[in-house]
Amino acid sequence: MRPQSTTDLLASRPLGRSDYKTLSLSALGGALEFYDFVIFVFFAAVVGKLFFPAEMPEWLRQIQTFGIFAAGYLARPLGGVIMAHFGDLLGRKKMFTLSIFMMALPTLGMGLMPTYAQIGIAAPLLLLLLRIIQGAAIGGEVPGAWVFVSEHVPNRHVGYACGTLTAGLTFGILLGSLMATLINTVFTPAEVHDYAWRFPFLIGGVFGLFSVYLRRWLHETPVFAEMQLRKSLAEEVPLKAVLRDHLGSVILSMLLTWMLTAGIVVVILMTPTLLQTQYGYDAATALRANSLAILLLTIGCIVSGSLSDRFGSGRIFVIGGAILGVATWTMYASLKTHPEWLFPLYALAGLSVGVIGGVPRVMVLAFPPVVRFSGLSFSYNLAYAIFGGLTPMVVTLMLKQHPLGPAYYVAGLAILGMLVGFYLLAQERRAEPALA
């Protein structure tokens, strides 16, 4: 019989004070880091006017500005792979702390940057560089955070830990939305243009550096510490082993990430604009409804992660995928005829997107500890760069063909999530006799 390892002995213990401390600090840091990443998009219009020539056509300025925003997404896979590589070889905590430092400094730099009127073409080039560094940071933060918290808690609480961390990330989006609303409420448009746009970046940078300090109190994961003790770390490039030995897990993780992007990009990020352009809502109403949806999404992530621990990931994706498809379809289909239903329908849709809280549990358990960080990071970041980047264009094209284009897209990905759920359910049932 194989001797019990430290992780085996801790596998069935209850969550303790140190676990909740780890989850709290990790979720707080994740929320602040995601706030730093998304705050750019809320002030894209102002940034575009300040960091590009005044004589540039408005459409070209918008393309340039959102191109800089997109550069952050394109940098995610490379940053994630590099940071995961060292996370599998040098330690989870080192990369977990580095990622938030790499996010905080560029955010602070954006708040302090001179504009195009002051330094010319150097302004947008410097902005692009800072955005690329941010993208590399977020590419390491999200998978790194999932791996970090999952390796700290008992195996039977991995779903709860990952769901809580995901809730922290989505709460960061809510913080960005609320900050944008606050700045535009307190200051006049002229004041925002002159100086107030800098405040959200400066605040984000300062709080990000504070999170770096807080993460000093976190400890290396027991799983990685044991691998170091047993000298069982990867003997080759971790990503090479992932692509050679765990291609099935990569494909599974990418499919689930595709479903995740449908919920976040379409239902949460694109819908406020769609509410204004397609359904006639004013901006203030759309943003308030969006904030409510994000709040429910945050709660849904924790619930979904917890239920996946108790009932298995397969059941969660079969049932949660069905609820996601029905809830979002009902929302988009009803807003023309019942605009007064916006808040309850959007809240329900946001809650249903919470099924994504169960995604990281599957990805964490799909890869062995020795290459876990690299496998999860490569799968998640590559899929997010592809599907997250293409989703807005695909949905826009579908919208030209049919007013319910967004509903069709989300419903299709919800069905994909259900199919993956049936596959996982079959895997879980085959594993049950072996565990008996």
Q: Go through the domains of the chain in sequence order and give each one's CATH number.
A: 17-233 (1.20.1250.20), 236-436 (1.20.1250.20)
What is the pLDDT averaged over residues 371-400?
A: 84
**Between 172 and 71, residue with greater pLDDT:** 172
CA 246 to mean position of chain CA atoms: 23
For 321-381, give the secondary structure using H, E and C: HHHHHHHHHHHHHHCCCCHHHHHHHHHHHHHHHHHHHHHHHHHHHHCCHHHHHHHHHHHHH
Q: 3-state DSSP call for residue 54?
A: coil
Task: Tell me which DSSP letter residue 16 carries.
Answer: -
**Is 328 exposed, middle or buried (CB count within 10 Å of its CB: 0-12, 13-18, 19+)?**
buried
d(CA 68, CA 201): 16
The residue whose two tokens read 């925002």 is 192
DSSP string for residues in 109-158: HHHH---HHHHTTHHHHHHHHHHHHHHHHHHHHHHHHHHHHHTTS-GGGH
Our CA angle for 374, 377, 380, nearest 5°, is 145
pTM for the whole structure? 0.82
Q: What is the pLDDT of residue 7?
A: 47
DSSP string for residues in 194-247: IIITHHHHHHHHHHHHHHHHHGGG----HHHHHHHHTT-S-SS-HHHHHHHH-H
Q: How many CB atoms lie within 10 A of CB 145?
A: 26
Q: Of the candidates 130, 96, 101, 109, which has an alpha carbon nearest to the alpha carbon of residue 27? A: 96
Q: 313-337: per-residue pLDDT in tens? A: 999 999 999 999 999 999 999 988 8
- Write the CA distances from 350 to 112, 268, 353, integer angstroms: 35, 7, 5
**Between 73 and 282, residue with greater pLDDT:** 282
Residue 398 has pLDDT above 90, yes or no: no
Q: 3-state DSSP call for residue 403?
A: coil
Amino acid at 52: F
Structure tokens at 320: 């949660």
d(CA 306, CA 310): 7
What is the pLDDT averaged over residues 392-397?
A: 81
**Between 51 and 251, residue with greater pLDDT:** 251
d(CA 184, CA 196): 9
Q: 131-147: per-residue pLDDT in tens? A: 888 888 888 778 888 88
% residues pLDDT > 90 (the chain): 29
d(CA 378, CA 241): 12
Structure tokens at 149: 């918290």
Q: 190-237: per-residue pLDDT in tens? A: 898 899 999 999 998 998 888 888 777 777 676 767 766 665 565 666
- Asked if residue 146 lies in contact with residue 357, where contact means CB atoms within 8 angstroms, the answer is no
Residue 88 has pLDDT above 70, yes or no: yes
Q: What is the pLDDT of residue 260?
A: 92
CA 27 to mean position of chain CA atoms: 12
Our CA angle for 352, 355, 357, nearest 5°, is 130
d(CA 391, CA 265): 7
Q: Of the candidates 357, 365, 363, 378, which has an alpha carbon nearest to the alpha carbon of residue 237? A: 378
Helix (H) or strand (E) holding 299: helix 283-311
d(CA 356, CA 393): 22
